[in-house]
Structure 1
Amino acid sequence: MPGQISIAITGMGRIGRTILRQIALQGKDSPFRVVHLNDIAPLETIAYLLRFDSVFGGFPGQIETEGDALILNGQRIAFTRSGDLDVDLSGVDLLMECTGKARTRDWAERGLHRGAGGVLISGPSPAVDVTVVMGANDAALGQARIVSNASCTTNALAPVLSALDQAWGIESAHMTTIHCYTGSQPMIDAPRDDLARSRAGALSMVPTTTSATSLMDEVLPHLAGRISGAAVRVPTASVSSIDLVVQARDLPAGDLRGPLKALAELAPVIGWTDWPNVSSDMRARPESVILALPETKRIGKSQLRLFGWYDNEWGFSARMLDMAQRMAERRP
C-alpha cells in the first residue's frame, strides 16, 4: 500500500506481539507495514506465542516461518536474533523499542544509529527526548526523534486528569491502580529488590509503587506536587483499573455522571460505560481508559471519586500505534 509507515519492532514480548497483532487485524488498509522483527528468542518460539495467546486467544490469521522470516498473512517479515540490534534499519520510518531495557541514551539511540527515522519506546525511560501521553501533552511531541510512550497506567491516568483540570480545576488527587500481575513478578516466591514483589504474583494482592506517580510531574508539569499514587498488583492476567479521588475547585452541582460522560466524549482516548462491568469485559478495548460511570461518587462539594478500566496491553499498544502515526506524519 503506497504511503505506508514502515515499522520495525525489537522486543517481541507482550507489547511487541500485541502491536503486531493489532497491525495484522487492520488488514490491507493498515497505515503500517512491518518490515523487521528482532528478539533474542528463537523465531519458532515467537511464532508459537503469536499463534496461541492465553489472554487474547488464537491468532485470527495465518502464521508461518520460512528461514529467517515470519510469514504473517502472506507477508514476509525479516527476523533477527540480535541482542545489540546489529541490524540494518535503513529506510525504516520508526523502530518500536519494546525490549523494556531502553534506560540509557546509548540503548535508546540504537535504532537511529542503525538507520531508523525515529524510535518509540514502550515504557518510561530517562533517556528520551520527550515523554508523550496522547490526550494529555500531545503538543510536547514536536520534532523529537526518541520518544517514550510512558506507561500503561500513565496513559490511563493523565488524559483523565487533564480533562478534569481543564473543566473543573484540580487542587489535588490520589490514584490507586489495581493492576494485573506482569512479567516482573515471579510465579512462585523468588528474590526481587522489592520484597513484596518477591511473592508469588498469582496468589496474593501485592501493594507496591507505580511509575505513573513520577511520570505525572513530567507529563502534566502544571500539576506537579499535587498528584500521588500507589499500586496493588492482583492475581489476574489482564486488564487493570485506576481508582482516583480528586479534590476539585469547581465541581458542577448535581449528578456528575452526565458531565463526566460529556468530558469523555470530547477525548478520543477516553471511553465510558454505564454497565456494572468486571475486568474481563474490558479485554481488548482500545481506549486508554474506560470510565465506569456507576462507580462515580461525589463527597461533599468538591471531592470526586472516579473508577476507570484499562487493558494495560491492548489499550497501551493502540496508543503506540497512534503515536507512531503522529511521528510519521512529520515526514517531509
Structure 2
Amino acid sequence: MGMNSDYEKELAFQADRRKATTEFIKLVSDLWYDRAIEVVLFKNQLIDKNVSDILNLHEYAGRFVEKPISVFDSVEMVRAINDINLPPSKLDIGKLTYEYISEGHGHDNVKAFVIDRLKDARSAKEIKPKDVVLYGFGRIGRLLARELLTKTGKGNQLRLRAIVVRGAVTQEVLEKRASLLKIDSVHRDFSGTVEINADKKALIINGTTVHIISAAQPEDIDYTQYGIQDALIIDNTGAFRDEVALGRHLKSKGAAKVLLTAPGKGVPNIVHGVNHTDFNPDIVNIWSAASCTTNAITPVLKVMEDTLGVEGGHLETIHAYTNDQNLVDNMHSKYRRGRAAALNMVITETGAGKAVAKALPSLAGKLTSNAIRVPVPNGSLAILNLNFKKEVTVDAINALVKKYALEGGLVEQIKYSINNELVSSDIMGSSAPSIFDSHATLVGNDNKSAVLYIWYDNEYGYSHQVIRLAKYISKVRRFTYY
C-alpha cells in the first residue's frame, strides 16, 4: 500500500510539473510575440520548445549553478516579468532565478525583486528596426535566414528583406532555394514555413516576403525598388574580402552598412563580446565577423589573458570539413585539401592564431596555429596549449571560466559544459560560439601551463555571433539582463 501511495504521489508531482511547464511555455511565447520580450534560460533559447525540452533545460540549469532551480520557480519569475511594464528585452530567467534564490529574499516578493533588478530597463532607448539583405545564400546565409525569420517577432530589430544570388530566378530555382532552407542534413528541418511566389520572385518565409534578387555585382542593385532603405548587407559569399571590394556594396541604392561573414583585410575584425565596443557603428560602415574558429577561441583566451596572463602557446583546431574541400580526390589549389573530405583527416593551415590579435592585441605574436579537417560535416574542437605568467590548477581554471560564463560581458559567448560524456554531436545547435569542456582541462607539472578544450558548432554558433554583431552595428540591441 505504501509503495502504491508513493507512486501515486510521484505521478501527481509529474502532472503538476508538466502543467506548470505548459503555463511557462505560454507565458514565454506571449511575452515574445506580444511584447518582444525574449526569455532565455542560461543562454538556452526557449521559443518553440516542448515540455520535455524545458524540463531538461531546468535540470541542466540546476547542475550548472549547483542549486535547485525548478520550473515552479521559473513560472513564478516569468509571471512577475509579465506583470510589469518592460520595453523590448532579452532576459535570462535562469540568472534571475539563481539570484533570487541566493540573495533576493530581502524583497517582499518575486515581483518586487524583478522590479528592482530590471530597473535599468526604464532608461532603454527606443529601437528603430533595420532592414537586412543577405548577399549569398550558402551554409551560413541559410542559417542566418532561419534565425532572423524565427526571431522576427514583432519586427522590432532586424528585418530580413532580400537575398541576393547569382543566375536567373526561375520557379525551379525558387523551389530549390526553398527546399534547401526548409530541409538541412545537419541542422534538420526549419521550424517555420517556406513557400514561393514566382511572380514576385520571392520566398514567403513564415508569411513574410523575402525578395530573391539576381545580380552579378553589388553595384547593379537598387534595393529601394523593393522598399528597402538604409540596409545592412551581410556578405556570405567570401568573394569580397577587403575594404575596397566590400565597399562596392555601399554603391548600391538603399545600402548603408556591410558585414562580412569571414576574416576581412583593412576592416575591423570583430569577435562580439570581446572587441565590438572598440568601434563606433555611427562611424564604421564596413565590418568583419572574423572566422568561426576565432570566435570560438578568443572569448576563452580573453579570460586567460585578463586573469592569468598568457606567455605564449599553440592552437590546434580539429575542424569539420567544409565546402572548400573536395568530395572525392581531385585537383585543388591547395595540396591536401584536394583529398576526399569525408574519408581523410587533412592537415591544413588556419589563420586563427594571428587573427586573435586583431581582437586581443596583447596576444600578438604569442600563438602558433594549425588545423586538421576531419570527416564530420559540422562541429569542431579547438585545443589550446597555453603557458601562463601565474601558477594554475585545474579547479582554478575551471572556476574562472565558469564565472565568466555566468556573469559579465562574455555570457553569450562562453558555455561552460559540465557533461562528462561530451562529444562533437552534442554541441550541434549551440548558440554559444565557445563551449568550454570542463572535464577535459589539463595542467602541466610546472603548474604554469595548461591544455584547454573548446568545442564549437562552426555553423550555428558562428551564425549567432554574426547576428549579435549585426544588432550592434544596426543599433537594435534590446535591454538585456544576463
Alignment of 1:148-167 (within 5 A): 148-167=288-307
Q: Does 1:89 align with 2:229?
A: no
Secondary structure of 2:134's match? strand
Instruction: Render the CA deviation track for 1:155-183: whole Å, top value 9, x for unaligned.
Output: 00111111110011000021111000000
Gaps of 5+ in 1: none
After TM superposition, the structure 1 stretch with the greater mean CA deviation from structure 2, 219-228 or 101-110, is 101-110
Aligned twin of 2:433: 288
Aligned twin of 1:279: 424
Per-residue deviation at 1:29?
Answer: 4.3
Q: Which runs of 4+ in 1 moved over 6 A?
A: none
Question: 392, 404, 408: which is aligned to 1:263?
Answer: 404
Instruction: Determine the C-alpha separation between the residues in 2 that align with 1:260 and 1:66.
Output: 48
Per-residue deviation at 1:193?
Answer: 2.1
The amino acid across from 2:175 in the alignment is E
Alignment of 1:209-228 (within 5 A): 209-228=349-368
Secondary structure of 2:395's match? coil
Aligned twin of 1:246: 386
In 2 relative to 1, CA 273–29 (structure 1 residues): closer, same or farther, beyond 3 Å? farther
Question: 274, 299, 308: which is aligned to 1:136?
Answer: 274
- Native 8 Å contact 1:89 1:111 kept in 2: no
- Native 8 Å contact 2:381 2:453 kept in 1: yes
Per-residue deviation at 1:141?
Answer: 2.2
The amino acid across from 2:287 in the alignment is V
Secondary structure of 1:118's match? strand
Alignment of 1:55-74 (within 5 A): 55-67=186-198, 68-74=201-207
Aligned twin of 2:82: none
After superposition, the CA RMSD in angstroms is 1.8
The amino acid across from 1:274 in the alignment is I
Aligned twin of 1:21: 146
Instruction: Render the CA deviation track for 1:123-180: whole Å, top value 9, x for unaligned.
Output: 012143x111113222332231100000000000111111110011000021111000
Q: Does 1:186 align with 2:326?
A: yes
Instruction: Render the CA deviation track for 1:102-124: whole Å, top value 9, x for unaligned.
Output: 12434301221113110000001
* Identical pairs, percent: 32
Question: 445, 462, 470: which is aligned to 1:316?
Answer: 462
Instruction: Render the CA deviation track for 1:31-65: whole Å, top value 9, x for unaligned.
Output: 22111111126333211100111111111111111
- Native 8 Å contact 1:134 1:159 kept in 2: no
Instruction: Determine the C-alpha separation between the residues in 2 that align with 1:245 and 1:29.
Output: 45
Per-residue deviation at 1:252?
Answer: 4.0
Alignment of 1:12-51 (within 5 A): 12-29=137-154, 31-40=157-166, 42-51=173-182
Instruction: Determine the C-alpha separation between the residues in 2 that align with 1:254 and 1:209.
Output: 30
The amino acid across from 1:139 in the alignment is T
In 2 relative to 1, CA 208–253 (structure 1 residues): closer, same or farther, beyond 3 Å? closer
Instruction: Render the CA deviation track for 1:58-111: whole Å, top value 9, x for unaligned.
Output: 111111111211100111111112121322234133110111111243430122
Gaps of 5+ in 2: 1-35, 37-126, 168-172, 478-482
Question: 253, 262, 268: which is aligned to 1:123?
Answer: 262
After TM superposition, the structure 1 stretch with the greater mean CA deviation from structure 2, 275-284 or 19-28, is 19-28
Instruction: Determine the C-alpha separation between the residues in 2 that align with 1:104 and 1:137.
Output: 20
Instruction: Determine the C-alpha separation between the residues in 2 that align with 1:263 and 1:320.
Output: 21
Secondary structure of 2:223's match? coil
In 2 relative to 1, CA 186–253 (structure 1 residues): closer, same or farther, beyond 3 Å? closer
Per-residue deviation at 1:217?
Answer: 2.7
Instruction: Determine the C-alpha separation between the residues in 2 that align with 1:249 and 1:310.
Output: 27
Aligned twin of 2:5: none
- TM-score by length of structure 2 reads 0.66
The amino acid across from 1:103 in the alignment is R
After TM superposition, the structure 1 stretch with the greater mean CA deviation from structure 2, 241-250 or 255-264, is 255-264
- Native 8 Å contact 1:132 1:141 kept in 2: no
Per-residue deviation at 1:253?
Answer: 4.7
Q: Does 1:9 align with 2:134?
A: yes
- Native 8 Å contact 2:387 2:450 kept in 1: yes
Aligned twin of 2:377: 237
Secondary structure of 1:131's match? coil
The amino acid across from 2:222 in the alignment is D
- Native 8 Å contact 1:108 1:127 kept in 2: no
Per-residue deviation at 1:298?
Answer: 0.8
Higher helix share: 2
